[in-house]
Amino acid sequence: MSSKEEQYKFKILWNLYAHRKWGASYIPIENVTRGLPRDEVGACRAVIELLVKEGILLFHKKRKCVSLNVRKKKEIMEFLERIIG
């Protein structure tokens, strides 16, 4: 993953973690990408797709919403702690 993709991954995971969006509690993708410049939203959505393929995120509501996968909690927490310090 490139540096920019790592930043997107952190922003996505931190946003969902801060709002406690695990399992059946989900948030629209538009809310996850909020605050990004318009030209970066597409790249952020691509990272979301990659995280779903890795099993870290789960899609809901016909791929319009996402949540964190409870089964990958350890991996998610290790990533966030590594980035934060």
Q: Domain extents for the chain?
A: 3-84
Residue 73 confidence (pLDDT) above 70: yes
Give the position of tokens 């695990």.
Answer: 22
Terminal CA-to-CA distance of the chain, rounded, Å? 19
Helices first, then strands: H and E counts in the chain: 4, 3
Give the position of tokens 């797709």.
Answer: 49
Euclidean distance between CA atoms 4 and 64, whole angstroms: 23
Architecture of the CATH domain 3-84 = Orthogonal Bundle (1.10)
Reported as a pLDDT band with limits 50, 70 and 90, residue 7 is very high
Q: So what's the pLDDT on residue 1?
A: 67
Amino acid letter, residue 58:
L
Reported as a pLDDT band with limits 50, 70 and 90, residue 24 is very high
- Is pTM beyond 0.85? Reply is yes
Euclidean distance between CA atoms 8 and 62, whole angstroms: 22
Q: So what's the pLDDT on residue 53?
A: 97
Phi-psi region of 26 (alpha: psi -120 to 50; beta: other; left: phi over 0): beta
